[in-house]
Amino acid sequence: HPNYAVVNNFRTNDIAIVFLNQPVTFSATVFPIHVPEPGDDFHPHLNEQGMVLGYAGPTTIGNEGLENLQAAHVRAMTHAACLAIYPGALENQHFCANDAELGSNFCLGDQGGSFAIMSRQREYLVRTRTGLMVKIFKFIFLQVGIATLPGCATQPSIYTRVSTYRDWIAQETGL
């Protein structure tokens, strides 16, 4: 982002767009992640579970990352609870999440990773062969955050809220 900055060891406007030289071939295991629609001021709900992805280990300190992609499930917190832990650090462009029970979180080396939720998009009413009506739901992965400040296993982590930058993303990509 053109206004990216680090102030008091805290990142603002911590978001980037990566353009690839070649198109990606999608498959059952490689698929696009969606971002909030333009104008959608999306905040994760209190306790909403998201999946965080990264290659760092639980205590990686700038050393080699792991070979396989790791996932942790964390839950969104209230803005007030996060401000109590990180006073003066949060802006509207951020949110916090953690897993207080298991200590799952992202850690050093995972910055830039995705905080994604499963979003129910459509419902279909389908009649089975036996005549029973069944609802089928279509789900997508929705990227609502980007890992910014790691809390590792002891503190909540701070995420850049993608919907804050949706107009900028559209301006830069046309999407």
**pLDDT tens per residue across span 29-55:** 888 888 888 877 778 888 889 998 877
Whole-number pLDDT of residue 23: 92
What amino acid is encoded at 105 in this protein? N
* Token pair 């071939």 in the structure block, residue: 25
Q: State the DSSP code for 55.
A: S
- What is the spatial distance between Cα 71 and Cα 58, in angstroms, rounded to a whole number? 11
Work out the percent of the chain whose per-residue pLDDT is above 90: 26
- What is the spatial distance between Cα 3 and Cα 9, in angstroms, rounded to a whole number? 16
Token pair of 61 as six digits: 């300190």
pTM score of the predicted model: 0.82
At 59, the pLDDT band (50, 70, 90 cuts) reads low
148 close to 94: Cβ distance less than 8 angstroms: yes
- What is the spatial distance between Cα 171 and Cα 15, in angstroms, rounded to a whole number? 14
For 139-156, the pLDDT digits (tens) are 888 899 998 888 877 889
Whole-number pLDDT of residue 64: 59
Mapping DSSP to helix (H, G, I), strand (E, B) and coil, where does residue 95 land? Answer: strand
